[in-house]
Chains A and B, each alone.
Chain A
Amino acid sequence: MTAKPHLDGAHARRLLGQMIRIRLFEEKCAELYTRGKIRGFLHLYIGEEANAVGVMEALTADDSVVSTYREHGHALARGIAMGPLMAEMYGKANGTSGGRGGSMHVFDRATRFYGGNAIVGGGLPLSVGLGLAERMRSGRGAAVCLFGEGAVAEGEFHESLNLAALWKLPVLFVCENNLYAMGSAIERTESETDIHRKAEAYRIASQRVDGMDVVAVEAATRAALEHLRAGEGPQFLECRTYRFRAHSMFDAQLYRDKSEVERWKERDPIKRFADWSVAARLLHKTDIADLEKAAAVEVDQAVAFAEAGDWESVADLGKFVLMDKVPA
């Protein structure tokens, strides 16, 4: 058994294609935000795409995903269609959550996507429960929980890691460490900035990964899942990454130097993987142009889908506050 993904042309095309889709989708979201089509908080993932794509590439349909408010990339890479995702950004009834949640609360039952959670740390206990359910029913699936390094300071992080480890639950914790929680640099909030050591303190096997390298993330995820599926209990990945854009659309970025951002942009996961794929003769330059073209068309179609959607009737405002039945 080897955890190293065997990269062929199709695989490289898939990884790169997914990252490009996420990038173009979000660039369109930023534009739509300034045009007032998308409102509320919008947290862009630009720069961090390799994490979502590398992790999701290694998952199966049996696995479940718990995410944060910065989840567009996770959702797309997990296989949620771009049209309903864009419609959710608009708040339209043809959105993934019927428009109820918006950018921060994408849910999708079909792909076992248990939500963008806008409470920092709030998703971790849920993932422990999903792992517990999987274990109690002797399922094969893993509960994959993605969160930022800001969540590591929350009690829910510590409670959840301890419980998952204590009960040896099939939970894969993925910390996307982009070094800032809003404007707080990690060294200003953590006494121990080496996050994967915290996982070790709970006796959870942990790896630190270059989150700007999609292949490294996929390989690490596959390795972690092998251990997890062998019944070895929870696993932990710390993906070192960086967000190129502001925290949300209301952020003047006073807390970091432009030069720092520029330095990280040199490690842009898309450019880096595209260049590497061409150099390794896995892809042609024309393949990359084709992927960009296809993604641009898909984004346009997603916008059209969202534009064409209806607003949910105000008469349904109270629908699903209480459920009539558990969805089958």
Chain B
Amino acid sequence: MTAAPLKITYREAVKQAIREALARDPRVFLMGEDIGRYGGCYAVTKGLLQEFGEERIRDTPLSESAFVGAGIGAAMAGLRPIVEVMTVNFSLLALDQIVNNAATIPHMSGGQFAVPLVIRMATGAGRQLAAQHSHSLEGWYAHIPGLKILAPATLEDARGMLWSALQDPNPVLIFEHVNLYNMEGELPSDAGAVPIEGAALRRQGRDLSIVTYGASLHKALAAAKQLAGQGIEAEVIDLRCLRPLDDATITASIARTRRALIVDEGWRSGGISAEIGMRIAEQSFYDLDAPPMRLCGAEVPIPYPKHLEDAAIPQIETIISAATSLVRPS
């Protein structure tokens, strides 16, 4: 018997996941800038300080490298930290710790030390925050062996991925798209952990496979709905996890649809879409009826004005026109 569904936002789903983790496992604690008294720069952690106290909800100074590195050290020593970095652009100040320590130490130490750490951060454009707050750099992180990269796009994943990430012995980075925090929907009141491996087929279709993740998933689903009105049935794959990539779900889908469109807010050159495209070329070449196509962020720093920001990232209309040209080349 499933419990009655609750109306809930993505933000609240993430918060519930954090609250559950804190309640279930005394080794779990939260650390980051303005997560306590301020309530989190995206208000995800509001109220947790009052509920769990300062020992477990730790406001940090503006020292991304030190508190991310401290999370790594604490994880190596047996705790289960959840580190929040305000936004992916700021995580660049902690790149040394993430790439040189968290990702290397298990292998470099011959398996003597694991780094069971979770780092959450906001990513993506859409809030007119301009070029130092809006980039989608999760594809970069997906380049790094030793990390697991998650991109929850649904309420169910926002609620369920965190617990599984905390059970994983490896460093897991969770990218929450800023435009999703206010997304509202229904979630069973007893919703819990979900697997953190594997892509999900969010819509079935016969004419093309749209491969995407994060906030672009919802644009792709909206585009698919409109495409259906024109007689084009798009299958929509939500990657969920950018590292490791679930090749099997992608290739199985392409075997049915014979066409692939990758939609990604990140930049095209050297991006995650390039990686996915090449995997499709390697594994699905003979299944394809058309060259794989990708729709990416424009190769510019994300600008502030709404019309330019909109133009810099994939939108429902651009997905529709890309899909149409792929299925019905003129």
Contacts and interface: CB of A to CB of B under 8 A. Distances in A.
B276 to A, nearest CB: 20
Nearest to B109: A107
A108 interface: yes
A233 interface: no
A157 to B, nearest CB: 9
Interface in B92-130: 96-97, 100-101, 105-114, 116
A128 B69 contact: yes
Contacts of A99: 110
Contacts of A319: 107, 111
A203 B133 CA distance: 34
A326 B76 CA distance: 9
A108 B58 CA distance: 30
A132 B70 contact: yes
Given A115-B105, A156-B96, A163-B61, A321 B145 contact: yes
A118 to B, nearest CB: 8
A159 interface: yes
A126 B63 contact: no
A122 interface: yes
Contacts of B67: 125, 159, 163
B169 A126 contact: no
Interface in A114-134: 114-115, 117, 119, 122, 124-134
Interface in B163-203: 169-170
Contacts of B308: none
Nearest to B67: A163
A223 B314 CA distance: 61
A126 B101 contact: yes
Most buried by B among A98, A134, A136: A136
Contacts of B74: 129-130, 132-133, 136
A108 B76 CA distance: 12
Interface string B81-94: 10000000000000
B66 interface: yes
Interface string B62-77: 0101111111111111
B112 A327 contact: yes
B207 to A, nearest CB: 36
- Which residue, B63, B73, B105, B113, has most C-beta atoms of chain A within 10 A? B73
Given A129-B70, A130-B76, A130-B77, A325 B65 contact: no
Given A122-B97, A125-B65, A162-B63, A133 B73 contact: yes
B154 to A, nearest CB: 25
B72 A162 contact: no
Nearest to B75: A129
A318 to B, nearest CB: 8
Interface string A68-106: 000000000000000000000000000111111100010
Contacts of B79: 132-133, 136-137
A160 B108 contact: no
Nearest to B78: A133
B111 A327 contact: yes
A82 to B, nearest CB: 18
Contacts of A1: none
A159 B108 contact: no
A270 interface: no
B70 A100 contact: no
Contacts of A250: none
B60 interface: yes
A105 B109 contact: yes
Contact of B97 (A100, A125, A323): A125
Contacts of A166: 61
Contact of A128 (B73, B76, B169): B73
A64 interface: yes
Contacts of B66: 124-125, 128, 156, 159-160, 162-163
Interface in A124-168: 124-134, 136-137, 143, 155-156, 159-160, 162-163, 166-167
B109 A115 contact: yes
A124 B77 CA distance: 15
A98 B113 CA distance: 13
B101 A117 contact: yes
Contacts of A322: 106, 146, 148, 169-170
A120 B106 CA distance: 19
A114 B111 contact: no
B77 to A, nearest CB: 4
B91 to A, nearest CB: 14
Given A136-B29, A163-B63, A327-B113, A105 B76 contact: no
A37 interface: no
B145 A323 contact: no
B282 interface: no
Nearest to B60: A163
B114 A327 contact: yes
B55 interface: yes
A324 interface: yes
Nearest to B104: A105
A124 to B, nearest CB: 7
Contact of A126 (B60, B76, B111, B170): B76
Contacts of B75: 129
Contact of A160 (B69, B96, B112, B169): B69
Given A109-B112, A122-B100, A129-B73, 19 more contacts: A97-B110, A98-B110, A101-B110, A114-B76, A115-B109, A115-B113, A119-B96, A119-B100, A122-B101, A126-B76, A128-B66, A133-B73, A137-B78, A159-B67, A160-B70, A320-B109, A322-B169, A323-B114, A326-B116
Interface of B: 29, 55, 58, 60-61, 63, 65-79, 81, 96-97, 100-101, 105-114, 116, 145-146, 148, 169-170
10 contacts: A64-B77, A97-B112, A119-B101, A122-B96, A122-B101, A124-B66, A127-B73, A325-B169, A327-B111, A327-B112
Per CB-CB distance, the 4 closest pairs between chain A and chain B, nearest first, are: A125-B69, A129-B73, A98-B110, A159-B66
